Amino acid sequence: MTDYVALVPAAILILGAIISSMFKGKLGNYISSFFSIISSIIMCYLSLNVLLFNRVFEEKLRLIPVITESVLPINLSVIYVRIDFLSAFFVLILGIVSLASSIYGISYINRYLHKQHLGFYGFNYALFLCFMYLVFVIHDVFWFIVFWELMTVTSQFLVSYEREKAIARKAAYKYFCMSKGGTEVIIVSALIILIILSGMNTSFDAIRYYTRNLLVENPILTNALIALLFIGFSVKASLIPFHTWLPDAHPEAPSNVSALLSGVMIKTSVYMFFRIFYFFFEPTVHWGYIVATIGTITLFVGSMYAILQNDSKRLLAFSSIGQMGYIILALGASMVLCSINGKEYAILASAAFASSLYHVMNHAMFKSLLFLTAGSVIYRTGLRNLNVLGGLARFMPLTSISALIAALSVAGVPPFNGFVSKWLLYSSTIPSFTILTIYGVIALFISAVTAAYFIKYFTTLFAKPSSIKFKGLKDVPTLMLFSQIFLALICIVLGVYPIIPLTMISPISKTIFPLGDILSYIQVFPGIALLKVGFVSVNSPLIIAVALTLLSSITVAILPPKHGKFSVWSCGVSFRKYVMNMPAASYLKPFEESFSEIFSTGKILHKIFVEDFIRNYLFSSRVLAKIAENPAAMLTLFTLIFVLMLLLRIR
Amino acid sequence: MGSRLHILKEALRTGVVTKKYPFEPIEVPEGFRGKPSIDVEKCIGCGACVNVCPPNALSAEVDLNKGVKRIILFLGRCIFCGRCQDVCPTEAIKLTREFELSTLTTNDLYQVVELKMAKCEICGKPYATIRQVMFTAKNVSKDQRPLLLLCSECRSKVSAKYVSYARW
Amino acid sequence: MHTSTTEILDLLSKYGKVEKVHENTYFVEVSTDKVREISEILHWKLGGHFSVTVGSDERPINGYFKVYHVFLMDKQKLSIIVHAKINPAIPKLPSITPIIPGANWHEREAHDFFGIVFEGHPNLERLILPYDWPENVYPLRKDVSVRELRNKLLKNRNEGVKERKAEEKYIVPIGPYHPALHEPEYFELYVEGEKIIDAKYKGFHVHRGIEKVAEERLTINQIPFIAERICGICGYTHNVAYCQAVENAAGIEVPSRAKYIRSILLEIERVHSHLLWFGVLFHLLGFDTGFMMIWLIREKIMDLAEVLTGNRKTYGLNLVGGVRRDIDSKKIEFSLKTLDYVETKARRVLDKMLKLKEVISRTKNIGLLNRSEARKLSVVGPVARASGINTDVRKYHPYAAYSEVEFKVPVYDEGDVYSRALVRYDEIFESINMLRQLLKNIPKGNIMADRIKIPEYRKGLGLTEAPRGENVHLVITGRDNKIYRWRPRAPSYNNISSTLVMLKGESLADAPAIIASIDPCFSCTDHLVIIDIKRNVKRRIRLKELARRRHC
Amino acid sequence: MENIVFVLANVAALLIIAPIIDGIERKIKAKLQCRKGPPILQTWYDLVKLFKRPSIVTEESSLAYIISPYIIFANMVFALALVPSFTRISLSFFGDVIVLIYLIASSSIFLAIGSISSGNVFATIGANREISLAALSKLLMALVLATFATLKRSLTLETLFPIIPPYTLSAIVSIILFAIIAYIESYKLPFDIPEAEPEIIDGILVEYSGRSLGILKYSIYLKRILLFTIIVYLILPREIPTLLTPILYPASTIALSVTYVCIETYCGRLRIDQALKFMKTLVPVLLVVLIIAYFNY
């Protein structure tokens, strides 16, 4: 079928970008938002088609029809787009989140009116969406790298959207440099693949054909490749120690963009991890362990540092690092477990696999929702500092409720969605008779820590009294509210009906998961528990939800809350006259102090690995530039590379 | 741990010491300074207690047209120091061993002694309680007793007369 | 370096007229410009310590304001009162606070009550009078009567409540109503996380106008009873101090049996107060069993007091010139029995409790007050003794029967809460020991001095060692059976300001224990606030009730 | 279906006896402090009185403050349905340990959110202490759970109960450790730091009054009995006849609570940092136990 339907969203977005770039004022924003809303709806439509009705969209867009493959060594003239199940899953996430954030953006971006060029925003926003979409659906290494880079560029423009803020520019620069570094590593590995293995055949399938059983033939090369790719992509995924750009970059972008960044963009590399570890190469135990370990470190460090933050969006950024850790841990666990024999382990593996993708979806939902709520607070108060904010629940009730739902979802409070995926993770790791048990324990502990700092986030924004007076504050405009509530509802639905995401994951597992369909191991019936099989016991959040709501409503019915108002008890001195509220800086101090050694070591490591790493990276890039200037050096370099490749090929 | 066990042992050795107070009485020792009460029979209304009472729990008022003197004891102010007991010439006011003063109406905390007053034989003004006069009469010499029937002013006048007689 | 009494007296006579009012008590009248110099010499050079500043309005007598600085020289067993005449037209005096920070409150108080301006005082703002007190009304001046005050206050009270503007810091209030404090005081803790970085204190909520009432309405023999009610725990020591002051002023010789009885009751009071303190400490550390069991022992002491005096707490035993009740042999043996019981029990229980891990970990090295700080603030009593200052009125300024009994003065150098506890622990058993001696060799004889005559306008100083530290009463006798000026200074008055030093850098959880560790007796400290006006602020009255209803 | 009936009966019974057990504890505590205690039903009387009273809402407070007690209560009741109590029958076909842990965790999360929403500074301090303790105790619980899982190769309560039959060192030690953690979890001295009465006026409960306070207290009792139940069933062997369980279970629960209260009576309160340090010292012990369990000794 050649009805180019898979390219429609991209096309619409590009169109929107071009049109919106012409207008400086509100219109620029409106147009791009409009186009992106349409395209995201289409994205959802396409991906649901794929996931539910097993249709696979496949396009070969011929850029230069005249030239044939025979002329060019590498077939760059064809953009090969293919939405298979894995892509579809991520496209669906992108669709939902971009829908929410575009609707949100309609009102939100107007706060930059007269300060910034809204058309510029619109242009970049639309293109950013477009390239993310293409990165998900493209099936061709060369174009993948191209779009990957373009995605970075556009997003960094969005990060540094408030140009006059030096901190924003700095963050964007850092972000750009680091992901550039990652990309260079990716390019190198891609070159190796293309030159050595696939004979300049750039399409994923072809490469898969070559790499699939490379492990037995040439383990060194395979491991080298995997290592290179893993490092390259873990920059975008903000895995430790490549996470440092994220806490700076995400907060600086406009909130709906940060929602996209945290919700979807960092997932692009998760998508690529799935491609690498399950699609290109066979999952291997040792890589599983490596990935799981890095995931554990990431989730631990990210969440631990989130406790220290006193800036709403920065806290969220750190928590995204932590949640990425969960995803990566689950991925690694599934890789380990699926290569251990035995039915029980098969179940564990499928649970882990499910949990990984499930958590990708969950995290996309609640994290973008959290960023949107933080954005709403900024929209009304213009503040991000948790020390001074507070008591907004009375002014913006709906925002506060959706923020609460999101926070509870991250904390994994049943019956919200974070619970199910985390819980799949624990029940797959803890009973496994391996080191993963410890990882599972750490993950469980960290989910409590997550709860802790999200209590901090929620209460300092909405619950505790503020040290500044807000007068005549009201809730955010309807569109913003709509997108918040939309995401909140999705959070609840995903939590209460795990069947929905699991049915979406099962076709993916059918294609790439070595053990086949996960649902054959974790049978799902809507409503009732996912039955106990072997020693994974899975239970239905729906029942929990129903039970909890029933019980609490019964209690309310029996003992309805009747109350009178009274001023806060402050030992008889005037509460108004003195500032008697805990600033966020003071939250959880004893807890931090009890983990002080971790933070001190963290400081040292940050010094060694991150700062020095960046410095060396910049230095080396400068050197490379110098080399590139004089041809002789270039020549020698190329010859060296060529010799190396030959050697590799001979073995 | 060891010390904790020691304390436990100590506690068990001591046993239960508290009482179900309002339902079980609490006995007080000899000479306990409870609430004072005035023996109406003995009181002569001299008002010595009124003078010494530190918190002004005791007060005296003279009702001229009724011709009575009242000694008023308000337990709400009393600090149970017992100075009144010390100074009372007739041991009329004594500290009892009661200490439960809680009540629903403050009136229960008042004790009023109303004593008839003697009228001055000359000017006819009530000047002291009859009992006080009788009491003083006990320990003054016979020839001076008539003076006791007079109020202070008249007495001074009269005594002045006596003096002048004597000179004359 | 040790200087003998004579040397000191010579030195003083250089500065002004030295007048001996009774043995070991010298009044030195100096010119206003000499005050600071002589105070420095007495406090820092000669190793005495500043005790109290008393302002007084003596215009009716000699047409001047007076300020008395009382210094106690422990080494020489002297008490020296430096006083200066101040011209009522321009009431000014150089402040001694820059030299002796401990004098801060005293001088502010004198400023509040007499409008005496202390030049060079760091912050001469209101200490005691409330914010809505009218300007230029100095309640303790003789030309101001209570009725007048009431009218003045009702008419021109400056209504505008001073709004404190919100600070960025985060404040944890301890008090006025706080379960940790059994009295209304207000500590304002500036906290970061759980760490206290700064503390402020606003006290004097409990105002009963005792001084004014005493000076205006009461007779000399009524005041002991109100003096006893200055404090809810250690009232008797105030009572004794007052009587001694008057007796010293009038040169009355108290029979020695009466003296013995006084000391006995004082020691009983000390034991019960210290036991009570231990109970409170354990309660604050969350160790309620300790609280219960200590108070169980304390009950026996209370019963003993009841048997001896007829009341658990307010003994009401003293009059000027002696005591009102005698102790017969039956009572003596009963008390000896009780003391044995208490001693064994207290040793058994307290030894163990002070060894508990939580108790140690939450009192050792907590609330530190080093020796130099203690000297600066001239703290007294167990607090001083825990900070390595060897001071005890019973030893160095013996009164009642203390010159005739053997006892040690426990001194520790750590200056933390634990050492304060240890000081009190030792004192309990010292007192029991003393009580035995006193009860054994109590002399026969009269218990009341015969022919008590009190000349007017004579100064007298009464010192006692309250459970909380030295307790100073300065009395100027007045006409027709009244007191002209009476200034009781409770030990906590000097100690409380040291808590602010102790609290800094400690954990919030330890704050109550630290505040309690000086055994603060807030109503003692506050007894002298003047506003006794029901309409002042409604809450205040409730506070007063609260202050009365103490655990005793 | 009849299972459901049994479960409901169990829960109802637990709801009734939870305050009574607290009453017993109070009585024993009083006796250990040389006091005549209150009657055993005193806790019930208090609760009923509280339920009768209206609760006071602060001016600063928001909705979370009002609803959180109900949610906590619901959490606890549901958690009770997951464990066997008077009969071995429970909702165990999806009775899952992790859900149990999460229900306990979420109860403290809601408690924290609710109390901070009251806007009182003491409540905020208490809530912070609460969160810190809860987070760290989750680590300990997770470790113990991992030990159980490695011993029994399972994560469901019905297979975990009882742990003992493999009479291994690790099994016994892990049960003891779980008892310690349960002690910490149930706000008993020296770990009642979140509601330290003299320090921070009942901290986390300071603003709660009347009805909502009653519900909160009630759910604390429920939490305690839940933990007791878990411990009891970790030990109670499967062999004992079903008719004996209704007698044995409450007896052993009361015995457990008595031992706990005996410990509690003779402890002072720790500072928050000391408590956290103590809990951190447990971690390596638990790790060792886990490793021992791995080599199933």
End-to-end CA distance of chain B: 100
User: Is residue B15, in this structure, part of any structural domain at all?
Assistant: no
The whole-number average pLDDT for the span A372-395 is 85
Give the confidence band of C552 by pLDDT, cuts at 50, 70, 90.
very low
Write out the residues of chain C at the interface with chain A, using a CB-CB cutoff of 8 A: 163-164, 166-178, 184, 186, 188, 191-195, 539
User: Is residue B6, in this structure, part of any structural domain at all?
Assistant: no
pLDDT at A203: 79
- Is any Cβ of chain C less than 8 angstroms from the Cβ of D281? no
pLDDT at C161: 42
Residue among D35, D36, D266 minimizing CB distance to B7:
D266
The verdict on a CB contact (< 8 Å) between D32 and B11 is: yes
Residues of chain A contacting C164 with CB distance shorter than 8 Å: 577-578
Dump pLDDT digits (tens) for C454-488.
Answer: 888 888 888 898 888 888 888 888 888 888 888 88
Domain C210-548 fold: Cytochrome-c3 Hydrogenase; chain B (1.10.645)
**Neighbouring residues of A629: CB distance < 8 A, sequence distance ≥ 6:** none
Residues of chain B contacting D28 with CB distance shorter than 8 Å: none
Residues of chain B contacting D266 with CB distance shorter than 8 Å: 4, 7-8
The whole-number average pLDDT for the span C304-322 is 87
In this model, does residue D232 exceed pLDDT 80? yes
Dump pLDDT digits (tens) for D233-268.
Answer: 888 888 777 788 888 888 999 999 999 998 888 888
Backbone φ and ψ for D57, nearest 5 degrees, come out as -110, 135
Tell me the pairing of strands C25-29 and C49-58.
unpaired
Residues of chain A contacting D119 with CB distance shorter than 8 Å: 391, 463-465, 568, 581
Residue D147 token pair: 């030990």
Measured at the alpha carbon of residue B138, what is the angle toward residues B134 and B142, in degrees to the nearest 5?
A: 105
Give the confidence band of C543 by pLDDT, cuts at 50, 70, 90.
very low
**Neighbouring residues of B38: CB distance < 8 A, sequence distance ≥ 6:** B71, B73, B92, B93, B111, B113
* Chain B residue whose CA is closest to D31: B16
pLDDT at D20: 92
In this model, does residue A116 exceed pLDDT 70? yes
Mean pLDDT score of chain D, rounded to an integer? 85
Instruction: Tell me what ipTM this predicted complex has.
Output: 0.82
Dist CA D52 CA A558 (whole Å) = 11
Most confident of A107-111, A325-329, A611-615, C53-57: A325-329
Tell me the pairing of strands C17-22 and B93-95.
unpaired
Note whether A160 and A171 are within 8 A (CB). Answer: yes
C-alpha distances out from residue C144 to C114, C116, C139, C214, Å: 11, 16, 6, 14
Residues of chain C contacting B86 with CB distance shorter than 8 Å: 324
Dist CA A334 CA A344 (whole Å) = 13
Dump pLDDT digits (tens) for C351-405.
Answer: 888 888 888 888 888 888 888 888 888 888 899 999 988 888 888 888 888 888 9
Q: Which of D49, D113, D212, D278 to mutate to test the interface with A (most CBs of A within 10 A)?
A: D113
pLDDT at D48: 92
Give the confidence band of A96 by pLDDT, cuts at 50, 70, 90.
very high
Residue among A388, A572, A581 minimizing CB distance to C176:
A572
Spell out the alpha helix ranges (H) of D95-240. 97-117, 121-152, 157-160, 169-185, 210-235
List the single range of A186-190, A389-393, A528-532 with lowest mean pLDDT: A528-532
In this model, does residue D45 exceed pLDDT 90? yes
User: Is residue B101, in this structure, part of any structural domain at all?
Assistant: yes
pLDDT at C170: 72
* Residue C262 CB-half CA count within 13 A: 31
- Touching pair A, B by Cβ (3+ pairs < 8 Å): no
User: Is residue B61, in this structure, part of any structural domain at all?
Assistant: yes
- Is any Cβ of chain A less than 8 angstroms from the Cβ of D2? no
Residues of chain D contacting C507 with CB distance shorter than 8 Å: 271-273
The verdict on a CB contact (< 8 Å) between D190 and C286 is: yes
Bridge partners for A311 per DSSP: A385
pLDDT at C144: 72
Q: Give A73-110 as a DSSP string.
A: SS-TTEEEEEE-HHHHHHHHHHHHHHHHHHHHHHHHGG
Dist CA C283 CA D63 (whole Å) = 35
Across C33-56, b (16+ Cβ under 10 Å) vs e yields ebbbebbebbbeebebbbbbbbbb
Total residues belonging to chain C: 552
The verdict on a CB contact (< 8 Å) between B32 and C325 is: no
pLDDT at A363: 92
Residues of chain B contacting C291 with CB distance shorter than 8 Å: none
Residue at token pair 């790499």: A211
List the single range of A398-407, A595-604, A622-631, C49-58 with lowest mean pLDDT: A622-631
Write out the residues of chain B at the interface with chain C, using a CB-CB cutoff of 8 A: 3-4, 6-7, 10-11, 14, 17, 28-33, 52, 54-55, 79-83, 86, 95
Domain extent at residue B75: 29-167
The whole-number average pLDDT for the span C280-309 is 89
Residues of chain C contacting B80 with CB distance shorter than 8 Å: 311, 314, 316
pLDDT at A574: 63
- Is any Cβ of chain A less than 8 angstroms from the Cβ of D273? yes
Number of domains in chain B: 1
Per-residue pLDDT tens digits of chain B, which is 168 residues long: 778 888 888 888 888 888 888 888 888 888 888 888 888 888 888 888 888 888 888 888 888 888 888 888 888 888 888 888 888 888 888 888 888 888 888 888 888 888 888 888 778 788 888 888 888 888 777 777 777 777 777 877 777 776 666 555
Provide the shortest C-alpha distance from residue C390 to chain A (in Å): 38
The whole-number average pLDDT for the span C133-137 is 74
The whole-number average pLDDT for the span A569-584 is 69
Q: Where are the domains of chain A?
A: 610-651
Dist CA A290 CA A105 (whole Å) = 39
In this model, does residue A272 exceed pLDDT 70? yes
Q: Which of C530, C539, C551 is nearest to C210 (CA)?
A: C530
pLDDT at C164: 43
In this model, does residue A109 exceed pLDDT 90? no
Helix A343-381 / helix A312-338 crossing angle, nearest 10 deg: 170
The verdict on a CB contact (< 8 Å) between C170 and A571 is: no
Residue C352 token pair: 């163990």
- Is any Cβ of chain C less than 8 angstroms from the Cβ of D119? no
Asked whether the bond before C130 is cis by omega within 30 degrees of 0, the reply is no
In this model, does residue A408 exceed pLDDT 80? yes
In this model, does residue A68 exceed pLDDT 80? no
- Is any Cβ of chain D less than 8 angstroms from the Cβ of C33? no
**Neighbouring residues of D129: CB distance < 8 A, sequence distance ≥ 6:** A590, D193, D194, D203, D204, D272
The number of beta carbons lying within 10 Å of the beta carbon of residue D127 is: 32
Dist CA A417 CA A50 (whole Å) = 23
pLDDT at C544: 35
Give the confidence band of A443 by pLDDT, cuts at 50, 70, 90.
very high
Bridge partners for B95 per DSSP: B36
pTM: predicted TM-score of the whole model, two decimal places: 0.85
In this model, does residue D139 exceed pLDDT 70? yes
The whole-number average pLDDT for the span A23-49 is 88
**Neighbouring residues of A553: CB distance < 8 A, sequence distance ≥ 6:** none
Mean pLDDT score of chain C, rounded to an integer? 81
Provide the shortest C-alpha distance from residue A384 to chain C (in Å): 16
Provide the shortest C-alpha distance from residue B16 to chain D (in Å): 4
* Chain C residue whose CA is closest to A580: C171
Q: Give A554-565 as a DSSP string.
A: HHHHHS---EEE
Residues of chain D contacting A557 with CB distance shorter than 8 Å: none
Residue among D34, D35, D266 minimizing CB distance to B4:
D266
Tell me the pairing of strands B110-119 and B126-129.
antiparallel
Q: Which CATH number do you get for residue B85?
A: 3.30.70.20
Q: How remote is the C-alpha of A26 from its chain's centroid?
A: 29
Q: Which of C135, C207, C263 is nearest to C534 (CA)?
A: C207
Residues of chain D contacting B16 with CB distance shorter than 8 Å: 31, 34-36
Residues of chain D contacting B8 with CB distance shorter than 8 Å: 32, 262, 266
Residue B83 token pair: 């100075």
The verdict on a CB contact (< 8 Å) between A586 and C192 is: yes
Q: Which of D36, D189, D259 to mutate to test the interface with B (most CBs of B within 10 A)?
A: D36
pLDDT at C16: 83
Q: Which of D132, D278, D281, D289 to mutate to test the interface with A (most CBs of A within 10 A)?
A: D132
Helix A541-558 / helix A478-496 crossing angle, nearest 10 deg: 110
Q: Where are the domains of chain D?
A: 2-294
CATH code, residues C5-155: 3.30.460.80
pLDDT at C149: 67
pLDDT at A534: 38
pLDDT at A548: 79
SS3 assignment for C32-65? HHHHHHHHHHHHHHCCCEEEEEEEEEEHHHHCEE
* Chain A residue whose CA is closest to C508: A590
Amino acid identity of A418?
A: G
* Residue C429 CB-half CA count within 13 A: 14
